[in-house]
A and B are shown apart, each in its own frame.
Chain A
Amino acid sequence: MTDNLRRYAIDAWRLSLALIFVGYSGSDGMSIALSVTGCLRKHKLKALLASPKFSRSATYLESEEQILRKARECDAAIMICTKKAYYSQKFQDEVNTLVYDAKIPVIALVQKGSPVMSVLKLRYRIKFVQGRHRRTCKEIIRVLRLKMRYGSAYLVPEGRELPVVRTA
């Protein structure tokens, strides 16, 4: 197997194991988050969601610190921006941790009419009309795959071909 093929195989394997943090606030946010989780699962991505309705989240629901501990293990994050989330200190802490400390790709899923934290205005935003968040599934997956695909650039000796990443 050539170096490039090996790198492609590793990249494909890494994407198949990707873990995505889904952040939200409030009951409306939770129902959107659960729907996003279903979208991710349908496309073979694992989701991390701190919700009593998400069976696998029991172990890290104890405290915000536990949630942040788990969030740092993620490959990327989707933050659901509703009005409630904008005023939630926990949501703000999660966004700041993911953007400034964990430095993983963060995508904002914004309900039209909701205010958006400044830091998320600088990230990729996907907008949706209240009640129609399911329509964003395809775009979420496309953007996530693009964002995560880049990961760390390739290190190749000078003079060798740079590997091509295919995105379309």
Chain B
Amino acid sequence: MTQVRQVQPSHRGALLLQSIVNAYYESSIVEAATRVQAYNESVENDKTFLQIGMRVAIPRSDMEKTDRVLLVDEIGVSVATGERNYLRDIWLKNLEVEKHPAHEFTATSFRHIIQQLTSGINPTIMFAPIDKYVEVASWIHAGEPIIRWSPSHGANFVLEDGRELKIVWSNKYAPLDCFILVDRSATHWTFKPDSSSGGRLTAIYVENEKDIGKVDFYVKTVVNADVINRTGVRLFSFG
């Protein structure tokens, strides 16, 4: 286990850490895409865990600068992005991508394909490549009843039978070439709880070993993801 020396923050310093934690939970998709459980050593001691996180060195005096709340919160978003990339890699490694010809990427065909792929499973979320964004947006402009948008929930894809899927678009930091339909029961996400909060994310200050004038944000989640039902995640692409 890596040894780090924790630094106790002032009230202001704690606000910066809280902004990282809040941004992480707002951005993380693991609750929507997997079954999340805390690690129980007595039951599952054979799992291999991965850390998703980073240390960010800052001048010690910056711990007091609460005007940086909107800068450091990006560290929490970054961990959530790392989780997305980890999940994507696990799915791509374990599952086949179903390929469709490019001409089938129309509103009607797309809806039909998804309806077929979702039969027998209960997906609630769909990861989508951002380079298909403009086409999908054009279907909405054309009046196709396939996307329902609300300010609180964002865009949802509406299936033929009325079920809805939350759409999560890829971006430069979490790239994706195919669509991924996800029934959250298909993947188990096990995390090692943070020793003080019991939550998924550890966000603390630690001493910077190389420079006593600096401290590091030490932010990480320790996780293992397992696909336990291969039919619950469907990957497909066009072209």
Interfacial residues, chain A to chain B (CB-CB below 8 A): 65, 68-69, 72-75, 97, 100-105, 122-125, 143, 146-147, 150-168
| Residue in chain A with minimal CB distance to B168 | A103
Besides A155-B50, A159-B2, A168-B59, 5 other A-B contacts (C-beta < 8 A): A69-B134, A103-B171, A152-B82, A152-B174, A158-B49
30 contacts between A and B (CB under 8 A): A65-B138, A68-B133, A68-B137, A72-B133, A72-B134, A97-B133, A101-B130, A101-B133, A101-B155, A101-B169, A103-B169, A104-B172, A146-B71, A150-B54, A150-B77, A152-B84, A153-B82, A153-B219, A153-B220, A154-B52, A158-B49, A158-B50, A158-B51, A159-B1, A162-B51, A163-B54, A164-B55, A164-B56, A167-B56, A167-B57
Given contacts A101-B169, A150-B75, contact A167 B51 (CB under 8 A): no
Which residues from B are CB-within-8-Å of A167?
56-58
Which residues from A are CB-within-8-Å of B86?
155
Which chain B residues (58-102) contact chain A, with CB distance < 8 Å? 58-59, 62, 70-71, 74-75, 77-79, 81-82, 84-86
| Residue in chain B with minimal CB distance to A152 | B81
Which residues from B are CB-within-8-Å of A143?
71
Which residues from B are CB-within-8-Å of A163?
54-55
| Residue in chain A with minimal CB distance to B219 | A153
Residues of chain B at interface, number, CB under 8 A: 47
Cα(A107)–Cα(B206), bound, Å:
29
Interfacial residues, chain B to chain A (CB-CB below 8 A): 1-2, 48-59, 62, 70-71, 74-75, 77-79, 81-82, 84-86, 130-131, 133-134, 137-138, 154-155, 169, 171-174, 208, 214, 216, 218-220, 222
The contact of A153 among B54, B58, B169, by CB within 8 Å, is: B54
Whether B134 pairs with A68 at a CB distance below 8 angstroms is yes
- Say what secondary structure dominates the interface of chain B: mixed
The contact of A75 among B59, B133, B137, B172, by CB within 8 Å, is: B172
Whether A74 pairs with B74 at a CB distance below 8 angstroms is no
The contact of A154 among B53, B59, B208, B218, by CB within 8 Å, is: B53
Whether B52 pairs with A151 at a CB distance below 8 angstroms is no
| Residue in chain B with minimal CB distance to A68 | B134
